[in-house]
Amino acid sequence: MADTTNMGAPAPHRISLTERSPAVARRKRKDLILQGFGLLAIFIAFAVMFLLFASLIRTGHTAFVQTHVTLDVYVDPAEIPLDGLPRGGFQDVVTNALIAKLPSADEDSERRAVRNIISNGAQFYLRDRVVADPSLIGQTISIKVPVSDAYDQLHKGSISRDTPEALRRVNDEGIAWFDELIADGAISKPLNFSLITNADSRFPELAGLRGALVGSFWALLTCFVIAFPTGIGAAIYLEEFAPKNKVSDLIEVNINNLAAVPSVVFGLLALAVFLNYLGMPRSAPFVGGLTLALMTMPTIIIATRAALKAVPPSIREAALGVGASKQQVVFQHVLPLAMPGILTGTIIGLAQALGETAPLLLIGMNAFITSAASTPFEAATALPTQIFIWADSPERGFVSRTSAAILVLLTFLIFMNGIAIYLRSKFERRW
Amino acid sequence: MILLAFIILFVAAAIGYVINIRAAQAIRDGGAPLHSLVGFHGMFSALVVLVPVFILILLWIALADPLIQRLVAASLPEGTFDGLGTGAIQLIMAEINSLAGGRVFGTPEDWKIEAAERLVGYERTADIALVVVVIIAVIALIAFARRTVIAEFRARQGSEGIMLRLMAFCAIFAIFVTIAIVFALVYETSKFFSMVPITEFLFGLNWEPQIPIRADQIAAEGAFGAVPVFLGTLVIASVALIVAIPIGLMTAIYLNEFASRRVRSVVKPFLEILAGVPTVVYGFFAILVVAPWLRSTGASLGIDVASNTALAAGSVMGIMLIPFISSFADDALSAVPQSLRDGALALGATRSETMLNVLVPAAIPGIVGGILLAVSRAIGETMIVVMAAGLIARMTINPLDSVTAVTVQIVTLLIGDTAFDNPKTLSAFALGMMLFIITLGINVLALRIVRKYREIYD
């Protein structure tokens, strides 16, 4: 409209956002550049995440199957006498069965080389069957035993047949034998349940996570039993009952700082106080759980206080109005309403505790233990420390087992966080 | 046995609860008006039984075993420990303990077997004594609680008083934890500084934590100068922050200003997943993917990259910190009042100008607080550096070199069996002490900045 009244006179140039001018274009370009940077940052984060999971799945998926060989074993009474159980020449018997399958192998001179095809633990598969049913002695039975790590990797393709023989962990002769077994149909690749049912082992093909899962279970149980009631008690006190004074302030600052203390410092505390002064057992999941409880407690306190704060004052006032005492108000009205939020925070805290490694290393939960703990006071490993142990092991088979163990750990974490998200969305009320 | 004691305790608490409820009901049925509800009388009894006996059992667990060990050690033949270090003494006690547990290696001396038998005897006595004491205590407490049940007894005030104290104790427990941390660190650190001068630790440029195995060993004097260790942590943390700060901030800015609701609802949970990945997984990622990739890239460019370069540990740690920084920055940007945003847009500023010239400056304290917290996490982060960084302390700031970190040294010095009498073990506590002080200082500063900033707009 201004143009029509000022007809004739040159209009003073004003910049408007709707008009195309070099300055506006430049400013809009800046807008786009900033957006571009933002998108780039998100893309980088996504890419790294994708790379992380892809590399874990790529190396880890092979550990979910295990190469086995099926053998017809003649349980020779001369090698395995009935009255000698559970001792006996199980290894020789299994090796005999394997050599019988390989006509090209010389029985005497190449016995050792042939034996290397099957796992060192194969004899125990036979032993367990024979001990369970001694009448098998003298019969020929068909058993499926894992092959050793080198041949497992060969079959899964991690060891290339094109590599020069000198650089390969299996020689040409071994490959020839193994191919004979494949041609014979004796080799199979079933799902690897021993990853869950076996405890740790020096041999990758036998190593499993049972000890670690049990250890983590005991540690988390201890952590929950200690941290949950203590955390809720502390939160209720601070939120509902504490007088507003210096002491309460101090406690509050203290809890916030405790939540940010590096986890390794909690490990030092556990080592010096629990193990050294109090003489608690090394490597015990109970001590691990105790340490994790100290770390989880601030998380639970902070979550519980937030949940209690979210309950509107009208609920409290109504309950007080009909004559409830202050504690009756809290325990019978406020706490039940805050429970979903508290549980969500607790589960997230426990998920963090499940992945925590450093304090457990310091109290010795990285020991090599080949059986699962039956009580929380026995030595055990935990899932993250087991991952750490396997990541340190040089064998190729342990690389894939480490990735597989990480995938198991991440599955648990996603499951726990899933429960937390479900609880939050299902039960949380907006007032 | 401890389990049995706990079971007895809980059963006794339930019995006390029922007895008192019955008694209170009888009084009420008799026509006398009770001061408190029946349930409070039961509650009072249960609490009176539970709390003291529970504390008793916990103390027993904490004190019985060390006491028994001391008794056994004192009962050994005269002069057994003469001239032995604590390590050797611990070895003897461990042997006796394993003998007592039924694990016999070789042929132990007779006095060891005797000591083991004594140990088993003491332990059995202690177990029986615990159960007997618990039974006597619960009976006495149930009887005491039962005698309180009269019409005028203020059972509600009684049980609520106990509950309140319990909850207050839970709150103070957090302070106990801090005190325990400080005490443990200070005590072990002071032992360390009585062996190694504090000036050497703080200013020494050489870190070789060794102890002589034989007294006459050559070059056995360990060096405990912590400067290169802290320098290594600094290098790795700097790399991490160089990765994390731009990506984290840019993510927060985009999510806060430009992203649609749908993008936000996808990216936010994804960042939460990234934040929830355990650090041991990041550590494995660093050695499995990042370090070999850096090395081969370096080789193809003709640069010599160490196999456990600080770059690998640092960049992976940076990835770990991205969600941390972005969520803090996002919160800080969201807390800026809408009026500032509206005002800037109304003046004709573009969205990027609003963001960079108005919102970010207004949110700077919150962002800085978040970054400081990220710094403290980077310094205290353990597993990534334990797995991906080096062990040898070097005076270098070249991120392509292999450097070590404070947490790496703590973990490697303390893994395996540890005796608390040599500077090698104790130096880990001195490092832990420094770590604790530094992270605590940064945290206090960061929380203060964040809190102060929140007050401005509230």
Residue A70 pairs with which residues in a beta bridge?
Answer: A144
Give yes or no for a contact between A420 and A347, defined as CB atoms under 8 angstroms apart. Answer: yes
pLDDT at B220: 53
Nearest to B6 by CA among B135, B108, B173: B135
Is A56 in the B-facing interface, judged by CB distances under 8 Å? yes
pLDDT at B119: 85
Read off the DSSP letter of residue A198.
S
B123 or A231, higher pLDDT? A231
Confidence grade of residue A2 (pLDDT, cut at 50, 70, 90): very low
Nearest to B456 by CA among B318, B375, B337: B337
A8 pLDDT above the threshold of 70: no
Instruction: Give me the numbers of helices (H) and strands (E) for chain B, helices first please.
Output: 17, 2
Contacts of B439 in chain A (CB under 8 A): 260-262, 265
**For A299-325, how does the pLDDT look when each residue is reduced to its tens digit (9 = 90+)?**
999 999 999 999 999 999 999 999 999
Note which residues in 429-448 of chain B have CB less than 8 A from chain A. 429, 432, 435-436, 439-440, 443-444, 447
Contacts of A253 in chain B (CB under 8 A): 444, 447
Helix (H) or strand (E) segment spanning residue A143: strand A140-146
Task: Count Cβ atoms within 10 A of the Cβ of residue B110 and give its class: 0-12 exposed, 13-18 middle, 19 or more buried.
Answer: exposed
Contacts of A33 in chain B (CB under 8 A): 352
Q: Which domains does chain B have, with CATH numbers?
A: 2-161 (no CATH), 223-457 (1.10.3720.10)
Q: Quick check: helix, strand or coil at residue A84?
A: helix
Q: Six-digit token pair at B84?
A: 């032995």
Instruction: Name the residue among B185, B254, B323 with its Cβ closest to that of A35.
Output: B254
d(CA B413, nearest CA chain A) in Å: 9
The mean per-residue pLDDT over the stretch B351-356 comes to 91
Confidence grade of residue A43 (pLDDT, cut at 50, 70, 90): very high
Give yes or no for a contact between B139 and B10, defined as CB atoms under 8 angstroms apart. Answer: no
The mean per-residue pLDDT over the stretch A69-90 comes to 80
Read off the DSSP letter of residue B77.
P
Instruction: Name the residue among B156, B167, B284 with its Cβ closest to that of A387.
Output: B284
Instruction: Name the residue among A45, A55, A387 with its Cβ closest to that of B247.
Output: A45
A291 or A19, higher pLDDT? A291
Read off the DSSP letter of residue A135.
G
What is the sign, positive or negative, of the torsion defined by CA atoms of A123, A129, A132, A133? Answer: negative
Q: What is the 3-state secondary structure (H, E, C) of B367-390?
A: HHHHHHHHHHHHHHCCHHHHHHCC
Contacts of B289 in chain A (CB under 8 A): 51-52, 55
B208 pLDDT above the threshold of 90: no
Instruction: Name the residue among A30, A325, A357 with its Cβ closest to that of B280.
Output: A357
CB-CB under 8 Å, B171 with A251:
yes
How many CA atoms, within 13 angstroms, populate the side-chain half-sphere of residue A326? 12
Note which residues in 85-114 of chain B have CB less than 8 A from chain A. none
Find the radius of gyration of the CA atoms of chain A: 32
Instruction: Name the residue among A34, A262, A388 with its Cβ closest to that of B280.
Output: A388
Rounded Cα–Cα distance for residues B268 and B327 (Å)? 9
Q: How far is CA A310 from CA A249, A305, A427, B68, in A?
A: 21, 9, 13, 51
**For B150-182, how does the pLDDT look when each residue is reduced to its tens digit (9 = 90+)?**
888 888 899 999 999 999 999 998 889 999 999
Note which residues in 100-129 of chain A have CB less than 8 A from chain B. none
**Peptide bond just before B228 cis, omega within 30 deg:** no
CB-CB under 8 Å, B171 with A358:
no
Residue A145 pairs with which residues in a beta bridge?
Answer: A69
Nearest to A411 by CA among B215, B112, B273, B449: B273
A41 pLDDT above the threshold of 90: yes
**For A119-139, how does the pLDDT look when each residue is reduced to its tens digit (9 = 90+)?**
888 888 888 888 888 888 888
What is the sign, positive or negative, of the torsion defined by CA atoms of B252, B258, B261, B265? Answer: negative
Task: Count Cβ atoms within 10 A of the Cβ of residue B305 and give its class: 0-12 exposed, 13-18 middle, 19 or more buried.
Answer: buried
Rounded Cα–Cα distance for residues B121 and B208 (Å)? 46
Q: Six-digit token pair at B78?
A: 């005269």
**For B253-310, how does the pLDDT look when each residue is reduced to its tens digit (9 = 90+)?**
999 989 899 988 889 888 888 888 999 999 999 999 999 999 999 889 888 888 788 8
Rounded Cα–Cα distance for residues B45 and B14 (Å)? 9
Task: Count Cβ atoms within 10 A of the Cβ of residue A252 and give its class: 0-12 exposed, 13-18 middle, 19 or more buried.
Answer: middle
Rounded Cα–Cα distance for residues A77 and A141 (Å)? 13
The distance from CA A258 to its chain's CA centroid, rounded to whole angstroms, is: 25
Q: Quick check: helix, strand or coil at residue A144?
A: strand
**For B313-324, how does the pLDDT look when each residue is reduced to its tens digit (9 = 90+)?**
999 999 999 999
Rounded Cα–Cα distance for residues A267 and B414 (Å)? 10
How many CA atoms, within 13 angstroms, populate the side-chain half-sphere of residue A70? 11
Helix (H) or strand (E) segment spanning residue B84: none
The interface predicted TM-score of the complex, written ipTM, equals: 0.88
**For B394-451, how does the pLDDT look when each residue is reduced to its tens digit (9 = 90+)?**
888 888 888 899 999 999 888 866 677 778 888 899 999 999 999 999 988 988 887 7
CB-CB under 8 Å, B350 with A30:
yes
**For B374-398, how does the pLDDT look when each residue is reduced to its tens digit (9 = 90+)?**
999 999 999 999 999 888 888 888 8
Q: How far is CA B82 from CA B79, B88, B93, in A?
A: 5, 11, 14
pLDDT at A1: 45
Nearest to A56 by CA among B420, B288, B36, B155: B288
- Tell me the residue ranges of DSSP E strands in B167-312: 207-208, 223-224
Read off the DSSP letter of residue A73.
E
B218 pLDDT above the threshold of 60: no
Is B36 in the A-facing interface, judged by CB distances under 8 Å? no
Q: Six-digit token pair at A99?
A: 């050599």
Is A238 in the B-facing interface, judged by CB distances under 8 Å? yes
**Alpha helices for B30-109 (secondary structure H):** 38-75, 86-100
Q: If you search the block for the tokens 């009244």, which residue do you land on? A: A5
Highest mean pLDDT out of A37-46, A183-192, B55-64: A37-46
Least confident window among A105-114, A120-129, A238-247, A413-422: A105-114
**Checking DSSP bridges between strand A140-146 and strand A187-188, what pairing results, if any?**
unpaired
The fraction of chain A above a pLDDT of 70, given in percent, is 95
Instruction: Name the residue among B66, B247, B276 with its Cβ closest to that of A279.
Output: B66
Give yes or no for a contact between A356 and A238, defined as CB atoms under 8 angstroms apart. Answer: no
**For B5-51, how does the pLDDT look when each residue is reduced to its tens digit (9 = 90+)?**
899 999 999 999 999 999 998 888 888 888 888 889 999 999 999 99
pLDDT at A368: 86
CB-CB under 8 Å, A271 with B270:
no
Contacts of A264 in chain B (CB under 8 A): 380, 382, 407, 410-411, 432, 435
pLDDT at B346: 94
Q: Which domains does chain A have, with CATH numbers?
A: 65-191 (no CATH), 210-427 (1.10.3720.10)
Residue A65 pairs with which residues in a beta bridge?
Answer: A191
B205 pLDDT above the threshold of 50: yes
pLDDT at B152: 84
Is A357 in the B-facing interface, judged by CB distances under 8 Å? yes
A42 pLDDT above the threshold of 90: yes
**For B82-110, how does the pLDDT look when each residue is reduced to its tens digit (9 = 90+)?**
766 666 777 777 778 778 777 777 777 78
Which residue type sits at B396? Answer: T
Give yes or no for a contact between A382 and A285, defined as CB atoms under 8 angstroms apart. Answer: yes
Confidence grade of residue A23 (pLDDT, cut at 50, 70, 90): confident
CB-CB under 8 Å, B258 with A262:
no
Torsion of CA A24, A26, A31, A33, to 10 degrees: 170
Give the best residue of B70, B167, B255 to mutate against chain A (max A CB count within 10 A): B167
Rounded Cα–Cα distance for residues B358 and B67 (Å)? 66
d(CA B33, nearest CA chain A) in Å: 18
What is the sign, positive or negative, of the torsion defined by CA atoms of B404, B406, B410, B415? Answer: negative
pLDDT at A237: 94
Q: How far is CA B120 from CA A282, B88, B123, in A?
A: 20, 22, 5
Nearest to A41 by CA among A31, A49, A29, A30: A49
Rounded Cα–Cα distance for residues A227 and A215 (Å)? 18
Q: Quick check: helix, strand or coil at residue A142?
A: strand
